[in-house]
Amino acid sequence: MKESSPSTEGRDVDTPDGLTITGEIAPRAEEVLTPRALELIVALHRALDDRRLELLAARQRRVEDLAAGGTLDFLPETKHIRDDPTWRVAPPAPGIEDRRCEITGPTDRKMTINALNSGAKAWLADHEDANTPQWSAVVGGQLNLLDAINRTIDFTGENGKHYALKPDEELATIIVRPRGWHLPEKHVLVDGRPMSGSLVDFALYLATAGLRQIEKGQGPYFYLPKMESHLEARLWNDAFVLAQDFLGIPQGTIRATVLIETYPAAFEMEEILYELRDHSSGLNAGRWDFMFSVIKSFRTRGTEFMLPDRNAVTMTVPFMRAYTELLVKTCHTRGAHAIGGMAAFIPSRDEVVNAAAFAKVRDDKTREANDGFDGSWVAHPGMVELCKEVFTSVLGDKPNQIDRTREDVHVTAAQLLDVAATPGDVTEAGLRNNISVGIQYLKAWLGGLGAVAIFNLMEDAATAEISRSQVWQWLHNDVTLADTGHQVTRELIDRIVEEEIAKLPGDAGDYDAGDYEEAKQTFLEVAVADDYADFLTLPAYDRMP
């Protein structure tokens, strides 16, 4: 029996038994909230959600074990997978053989057009860290992707500038990043229980725009975030198998790149590729979330896992170097792409700032290309040509360098865990930057923006997570600031919060008028509370309608 989810504007969407949509059914929503997509959502939920919740509980048990003095290591029970030289992942899929430059960004209408037109080989269409899970954005982003694939998308800005797509052969390939396993979708209930945000984003795309992507000679491609184990990868693979059968798609049509952006996942890279091998297109070095996960995993362990100011932690420090070297070797040994980290810099009108930033980005991409990465990320169209140029200088006409297997690399668990060797200090300047970035980002996030330009960098949820996690770690481990000699206390944090907010745009710094108050309260909730929130987006999502 079919039900209907009512709309505040008088429209209805037919829903399968057991499914309820509590969000507004806005104009054109029915184009992505199709009967087939909603039936797939129900099937995925009923088959997989209990396992998802069990895996999230396993994450908590690991945190408790680490807090009690445990550690991370390569898994003895999966050694046979790592030692088996015979298995490979699926060959590169159409449209993602060459990934020398990928651009990332949210799925709003203007960004969709600019990203596809940017000259990048692929676009990470982000429903996760660069997006906010407002219901209007969840549905609206899917509509923008559908319109892009149907070539019915355009946009006119307030200044009258018109944006339209270039010819298909000049467009970046769409790779969708759904939300992580931990995030719910409170506007979609199945059997009275909130859906997984991951599976909502996946199903809505696959059953609508993804099918059109197949018709155009490519496939539904995904970036999978925030996983912490190969068992979580197995859950995704089971979702792919179920969905392909449900929609009558050949197995292996879906391809996924996994972001290795949690500390536990760095010890299970081969196993993650193995679980997804028929659907795998590689791994990505999610550098910012990786730093967040390092702090999060060992936040109670004192100076052994204490990072300095976040801007001082470069990709060349020992534990980050071990992580990226292992990622390239793992991918190429198994025939998979290795994709580098994001360059967050945004070109500005200050030529001195630009020159220094472009030089840093060039050095970063040159290191990645020479290390064997097959491509890398940028956050702004203005950085695409630089990234392509650097990788082309190494790749030439080759689409990738998967054949470079890096047999010279031998990374140990001790090297991955050597956070203590990271040079740098914890300073008041770093504390102030964390507080300012965290509050500015949360203000934008709560207002519906997931990617925000702050201090000439594109900040998203990952960098906000680092910012608030460092504040929490420094406070709860009685850190003394190197430049002032002051201990990080709640009183010091409260004072700096007030001082940094007063510098921000608003009613002459009058945040009490409501300009920054909600963002401030949300930041303090996740930065100074006795209990550490696993993700700042969870309490922030509770504040959203």
Any idea what DSSP says for residue 92?
P
Between CA 412 and CA 417 the distance in angstroms is 9
One-letter amino acid of 300: T
Q: Is 34 exposed, middle or buried (0-12, 13-18, 19+ CB in 10 A)?
A: middle
Closest Cα partner for 445 from 466, 460, 432? 460
Q: Is 110 exposed, middle or buried (0-12, 13-18, 19+ CB in 10 A)?
A: middle
Instruction: Name the β-bridge partners of 421.
Output: none
Catalytic residue flag (residue 84):
no
- Report residue 128: phi and psi, to 5°: -120, -105
In 419-536, alpha helices (H) = 428-446, 461-476, 490-502, 517-527
DSSP 227-263: --SHHHHHHHHHHHHHHHHHHTPPTT--EEEEEE-ST
User: CA–CA distance from 151 to each of 120, 148, 371, 390 (Å)?
Assistant: 18, 5, 38, 31
Between CA 318 and CA 232 the distance in angstroms is 28
User: CA–CA distance from 273 to each of 163, 278, 355, 469, 520 (Å)?
Assistant: 38, 9, 39, 29, 40
Catalytic residue flag (residue 460):
yes
Between CA 60 and CA 180 the distance in angstroms is 16
Check 109, 201, 460, 468 and give the catalytic one: 460
Kindly report the length of the chain: 545
One-letter amino acid of 182: H
Check 177, 299, 310, 468 and give the catalytic one: 177
Chain Cα centroid distance, residue 92: 22
Provide the annotated active-site residues: 177, 460
